[in-house]
Amino acid sequence: MAEGLAGVSRNAVEKNLFENLEVGRKKVNVNMLQFRDDTLFFCEANIKSVLNFKVIIHCFELAYSLKVNFSKRRLGGVGVDQIVVLRFATILNCEVTKTLFIYLGLAVGGCYKKSMFWDGVVDKIIVQMEW
Helix (H, G, I), strand (E, B) or coil at 23: strand
Q: Which domains does the chain have, with CATH numbers?
A: 2-130 (3.30.1330)
Global pTM reads 0.74
Please state, in angstroms and rounded to a whole number, the distance separating the CA atoms of residues 55 and 95: 18
Instruction: State pLDDT tens for residues 39-87.
Output: 888 888 889 989 998 888 888 888 888 877 767 788 888 778 889 989 9
pLDDT, one tens digit per residue, over 85-121 is 899 999 998 888 876 666 666 666 554 444 444 455 5
Contacts within 8 Å (CB) and 24+ apart, 86-94: 88/45, 88/47, 88/50, 88/125, 91/50, 91/51, 91/54, 92/50, 92/53, 92/54, 92/127, 94/70, 94/127, 94/129
Q: Is 101 helix (H, G, I), strand (E, B) or coil?
A: strand
| Distant-in-sequence, close-in-space partners of 73: CB < 8 Å, separation ≥ 6 | 92, 93, 94, 95, 127, 128, 129, 130
